Amino acid sequence: MAIIDVTVIPIGTDTPSVSRYVADIQRILANWAEEGKITYELTPMSTLIEGELPALLEVVQEMHESPFKNGIERVATNIRIDDRRDRNNHSMKNKLASVKQQLMKLEP
């Protein structure tokens, strides 16, 4: 399983507000999640998605298409992929747990 972190920025909107486009993308993700293909989480800065890499790249393409369907003519999408294969428990939950464990070790 891989984890990706995605931002989709519509360029050429008349206002600085883009929450409407973010909301459209969240509904796309809800559909994928309902089918059990991904899990996802909205943060204040991006969307984090967990799943098999080929599925994740399909999801990215659908997210990136979304503002074009609403009349936007330019989209800047940014993706970070974190893919770890030496363990089979690489997940959003376990990554946070590892850092917390390290933090406890370090406390005096």
The secondary element (H helix, E strand) that includes residue 52 is none
Residue 64 touching a copy of itself (CB under 8 A): yes
Q: Give which of 107, 32, 31, 47 is closest to 80, Cα–Cα.
A: 47
For residue 86, state whether it binds a copy of itself (rule: CB under 8 A): yes
CB of 58 to a copy of itself, least distance (A): 8
Tokens of 85: 């294969």
Pairing of strands 2-11, 47-51: antiparallel
∠ CA 63-61-96, nearest 5°, is 65
Q: Does 39 bind a copy of itself (CB under 8 A)?
A: no
Shortest distance (Å) from residue 51 CB to a copy of itself: 13
What is the contact surface with a copy of itself in residues (CB under 8 A)? Answer: 3, 5, 7, 9, 11-20, 22-24, 26-27, 41-46, 48, 53-54, 57, 60-61, 64, 68, 73-86, 91-93, 95-96, 98-99, 101-103, 105-106
